[in-house]
Amino acid sequence: MTDLSTNDRNALADKVFGLPEKRAYPMPDASHARNAKARAAEEFNKGNLTAAEKAQIDRKADKILGAA
């Protein structure tokens, strides 16, 4: 997974994010999708994400990864 610079992240369309309303969990490619799923699980377990937010991120990532 390549790091996204601030400029690269800002250039991404909202639809590329797992939580587009927050512009959180960018998923421009499969490696970022896998990472988003892992980070979302961590944040859910810490109580920082709702079940609905985690599910939204997982659905988006699974679609990118072809698991949907």
Tokens 């990472």 locate to 35
**Could you give phi then psi for residue 23, rounded to 5 degrees?**
50, 45
pLDDT value, residue 67: 74
d(CA 36, CA 46): 15
d(CA 20, CA 30): 17
49 SS3 class: coil
**What rounded mean pLDDT belongs to the chain?**
95
Selection from 11, 19, 14 nearest residue 36 by Cα:
19
DSSP code at position 50:
-
Average pLDDT over residues 46-65: 98
pLDDT value, residue 18: 97
Question: pLDDT (tens digit, 9 = 90+) per residue, 32-55?
Answer: 999 999 999 999 999 999 999 999
